[in-house]
Structure 1
């Protein structure tokens, strides 16, 4: 494997990038990254690659009754990363065999190539650990992603249309992860709300939220039409991928089109930073709901 193949200009040929900062534990006495950590970086990037496909790895493997194992790794060192460097770990699926996946990897520090690799993965039965064919839907996904196509899409609709998909997100997030009782999670408001669901290309739901009917208020002598968004949930493995932002944007657009002047929501304090990044501003005191601290937030449309 030659450095010519992995010139700095080839950085743009990778759609998937995982960005990391070199940590103290990753450098040796020469203040450069110990060689074994590059394989750990590629492993981290491979896990992130699944998120780029719009897939939760564990759920997907259970759905298809398989797992993926690294069979062979060939790597070449070109330059050194040092403590606190920001590096980009890039992956590209080059070839799909009957049961195998061949990935090209590269680590860049700025425009400098630090490391290049070929990584051969094999699909196998997780119990018998025997090779098995790459499931056809996943085979298609790799090629679709590498061709530059969007891997998720957002739908809006009523509860009768989207309840099954919305429950597939709200159940693991609110009931299993956060411990809310099912009778607290599901209420009559679902029937009157507009729902948004982000799904991947094989129909698995990743994120959801709901928009309640307009609330008309008067505040400081001016009329307000308030759209209220709630039950915002993203499956844990897909957080940080933009799925939550997609459902928020879809419902904000729907509220704008029906004439709402503002969006209001009660944010769990742990998620307040997410809403701030979308432009929401806090108002009023912090309060508890179902034992969880919340903060009301509002966005002018």
Structure 2
């Protein structure tokens, strides 16, 4: 995998929130045709969000993926920009979010996923 940087954020961080929304909009609304008014929900402000950044040729880290962990142990909104899929980025995010859940004392994580994402989640052990 390319050189990566993983950062954790709260929805209340304006710069991070903007990047998270941009990635999710591109993946869910534009690509998967999820209605825009359903993409952001009441769980975003209380979730822990992860951003994965890949180092570019000029040494700059570009955000390419995001996901979230809700306080009840639900992992969701896993979004990897299309050109970066198949590189293990989604699995890396799942590992980070699962680890954070364990650190918070959450013994079981759950997820809701779209049917087309089932092979990815099976590969992740779900």
Q: State TM-score, norm by structure 2.
A: 0.88
- Structure number with the higher strand fraction is 1
Distance in 2, matches of 1:163 and 1:265, equals 21
Q: What residue in structure 1 maps to residue 69 of structure 2? A: 211
**Residue 275, structure 1, aligned to residue 110, structure 2:** no
Task: Give the superposition deviation at 1:168.
Answer: 2.5
Task: Kindly indicate whether residue 103 of structure 2 is the aligned counterpart of residue 257 of structure 1.
Answer: yes
CA contact (8 A) 2:5 2:61 kept: no
Give the one of 25, 28, 48 matched to 1:174: 28
- Within 5 A, what are the aligned runs for 1:97-246? 151-161=3-13, 162-201=16-55, 202-214=60-72, 227-246=73-92
For residues 163 and 204 of structure 1, what CA distance do their matches in structure 2 show?
A: 15
Distance 2:20 2:27 in 1: 11
Gaps of 5+ in 1: 1-51, 54-150, 215-226, 281-301
Other structure's SS at 2:20 match: helix
SS at match of 1:230: strand
SS in 2 for 1:249: helix
TM-score of the two chains, using structure 1 as the length reference: 0.38
Q: Equivalent residue for 1:285?
A: none
More helix by share: 2
Higher Cα Rg: structure 1 or 2?
Answer: 1
Distance 1:252 1:204 in 2: 23
CA distance in 2, matches of 1:181, 1:274: 23
SS in 2 for 1:204: strand
Which runs of 5 or more structure 2 residues have no equivalent in the other structure? none
Q: Which has the higher contact order (CA 8 A, sep 6+)?
A: 2
